[in-house]
Amino acid sequence: MARKRREPVKGLVGGQYKPLTDSQVQRIHEAALSILERTGVQVEEPEALKLFQEAGAMLDSDAPRVRLPRALVEDAIDWAPSRVVLAGRDPRWDLDLGGARVHIGTGGAAVTVLDLETDQLRPAVLRDVAELARLVDALDNVHFYLVPVYPTDVGKDEVDINTYYTGLANTTKHVQAGVYSVQGVRDTVEMCERIAGGAEQLRERPIVSFITSWMVSPLKFATDVTTLLVETCRQRIPVVLSAAPMAGSTAPVTLAGMLAQLTAEQLSGVVLAQLARRGAPLLIGPIPATADMKTGRYLAGAAEFGLTNGAMSQIAQFYRLPIYNSAGMTDAKVPDVQAGFEKGMSAVLAVLAGSNFIHHAAGMLENMNIVAAEQFVIDNDILGMTMRVVQGIAVNDETLALDVIDEVGPGGHYLMADHTLRHMRSEFYYPSAVVDRQGWDMWQQDGGLDARERAQDIARDILANHRPKSLDPEVEKWIRGRFELHI
């Protein structure tokens, strides 16, 4: 089936949704500073301890507990860039992050795939990184490719270079993933410098960025990942400070308490990143969630998920720092009604809150454990609708349409009016073939497929026929001669 590509609709300005008042944001800020000064954070990584101590932080050697003075935290916020650009190989997909500009894409590190052909669960492999990248490359409302699976067929020492290479080779959108070793970070940077045309070219237009889940909530730095965070900052590649406490489990059960702790955790990461290299480009990465008080499980589809992510967007805007947070997650196991309403609710709240880099918003099922190709296709339309919502309503002389109202007059119609023809394509969002808007008889005549079945057909067509722009052949040859690749 032929697919017409749309121009990207990204970077629209949100901020209409504000679950917190200005005074509540200020109180959470003050609470976070109090947590960092009074309670502090536990840090065991030697380089981080040295950086904190040299900057004037207070260290309790027996814990070791690091307490951060207010002035140091405020300085680090000022040193961090308020705007970060994440580039695509195709500049149409460059992401300008900051303020309340909105971009939406994939996320996760699922180890399980709901197979498109067998409808059975199986382990994620490197081939999935390639196929999902090609799928995302063809989906107009998915703005970036955060690698959504962890390939279980690649060893830890080689997973970084293989994951990033496979992503970059199969999409022209920005590629982001978690990193697992210092050598993997260095290898990936070396490869990307060659793809970008040089070291400075990569720093000017970073085609990749890194996620470091350095925080073990509550308030404890993960030693190995802290080392990766310091290395990434010194490489001058944009880095995400990812932390995901659960209210009632690894954070206070009250949402305000969780937000205060999470803000403190994020600010401690900002301080370390800026001590490692002043001006290091970063995204704060708060992912607030709640625990099921019956089972202790992480809840991805709860109403509080969208609410608290919207609140963290306000807090990021208060600090003038770009933010990576979540939407479009679900506790559903398959692409069903539950998946649709849970994903739609949190996606609308995140875009209206003005979050800059909204991940997990396409393809994910059962929390972050499973991905399905058809779910990416369904979510592409959910995201298109959410971006139409954040676009809002233009009110001006042309759109108020007084002349055409007068021309048509009482009892007339607007179907053939020039004004209708001028605006009908730009005023409405037209979903893909996954959304059926026919009557019952025509729907039956076309096979009576439900949305999931139509999405499966679209995914198969994309995977069979879509070919993203390839890497330069000489660069490809160099990469394959330099690194051990498994695809």
Residue 89 is predicted with a pLDDT of: 98
Q: Are residues 421 and 278 in the same domain?
A: no
Phi and psi torsions of 290, nearest 5°: -125, 155
Report whether 218 contacts 226 (CB < 8 A).
no
Q: How far is it, in rounded angstroms, from Cα 94 to Cα 429?
A: 22
Residue 440 resides in a domain:
no
Separation between Cα atoms, residue 329 and residue 325, nearest integer Å: 11
Read off the tokens for 396.
């001006």
Q: Are 404 and 412 a contacting pair, CB within 8 Å? A: no
pLDDT of residue 189: 98
413 lies in the same domain as 294: no
The reply to whether 99 and 228 lie within a common domain is: yes
Residues 328 and 191 both lie in one domain: yes
Number of domains in the chain: 2
Picking from 364, 391, 418, the residue at the C-terminal end of a domain is 391
In a domain, 237, yes or no: yes
Dihedral pair phi/psi, residue 421, rounded to 5°: -65, -35
- Asked if 36 and 125 count as a contact pair (C-beta separation under 8 A), the reply is no
Which 3-state string (H, E, C) describes the chain?
A: CCCCCCCCCCCEECCCCCCCCHHHHHHHHHHHHHHHHHHCEECCCHHHHHHHHHCCCEEECCCCEEECCHHHHHHHHHHCCCCEEECCCCHHHCEEECCCEECECCCCCECEEECCCCCCEEECCHHHHHHHHHHHHHCCCCCCEECCECCCCCCHHHHHHHHHHHHHHHCCCCEEEECCCHHHHHHHHHHHHHHHCCHHHHHHCCCEEEEECCEECCCEECHHHHHHHHHHHHHCCCEEEEECCEECCCECCCHHHHHHHHHHHHHHHHHHHHHHCCCCCEEEEECCEEECCCCCCEECCCHHHHHHHHHHHHHHHHHCCCEEEECCCECCCCCCHHHHHHHHHHHHHHHHHCCCEEECCCCEECECCEEEHHHHHHHHHHHHHHHHHHHCCCCCHHHHCHHHHHHHCCCCCCCCCHHHHHHHHHHCCCCCCCCCCCCHHHHHHCCCCCHHHHHHHHHHHHHHHCCCCCCCHHHHHHHHHHCCCCC
Domain holding 230, by residue range, is 12-19+78-391
Residue 58 domain-assigned (yes or no)? no
**What angle is formed at CA 356 by the lines to CA 355 and CA 359, rounded to 5 degrees?**
85
The answer to whether position 467 is within a domain reads no
In a domain, 482, yes or no: no
* CATH number for the domain harbouring residue 141: 3.20.20.480
Examine the domain organization and report whether 159 and 225 are in the same domain: yes
Identity of residue 43: V
3-class secondary structure per residue, 269-309? HHHHHHHHCCCCCEEEEECCEEECCCCCCEECCCHHHHHHH
> Which pLDDT tens digits describe the chain residue by residue (487 residues)?
445 566 788 999 999 999 999 999 999 999 999 999 999 999 999 999 999 999 999 998 777 999 999 999 999 999 999 999 999 999 999 999 999 999 999 998 999 999 999 999 999 999 999 999 999 999 999 999 999 999 999 999 999 999 999 999 999 999 999 999 999 999 999 999 999 999 999 999 999 999 999 999 999 999 999 999 999 999 999 999 999 999 999 999 999 999 999 999 999 999 999 999 999 999 999 999 999 999 988 888 899 999 999 999 999 999 999 999 999 999 999 999 999 999 999 999 999 999 999 999 999 999 889 999 999 999 999 999 999 999 999 999 999 999 999 999 999 999 999 999 999 999 999 999 899 999 999 999 999 999 999 999 999 999 999 999 999 999 999 999 999 999 9
Give yes or no: residues 148 and 289 share one domain: yes
Same domain, 216 and 256: yes
What is the pLDDT at residue 4?
58
Task: Give me the pLDDT at residue 225, please.
Answer: 97
Q: Which of the listed residues 374, 391, 408 is the one where a domain comes to its end? A: 391
Degrees to nearest 5, angle at CA 383 with 381 and 384: 60
What pLDDT does 2 receive? 44
249 and 119 in a single domain? The answer is: yes
Q: Enter the pTM of the model.
A: 0.96
Q: The sheet that has 298-299: what strands, in order across it?
A: 246-247, 289-291, 298-299
Rounded Cα distance between 479 and 164, Å, is 12
Give Cβ neighbours of residue 116 (< 8 Å, ≥ 6 apart).
Answer: 372, 373, 374, 456, 459, 460, 463
Q: What angle do CA 237, 358, 83 make, to 5 degrees?
A: 45
With respect to residue 62, please indicate whether it lies within any of the assigned structural domains. no
Residues 288 and 421 in one domain: no
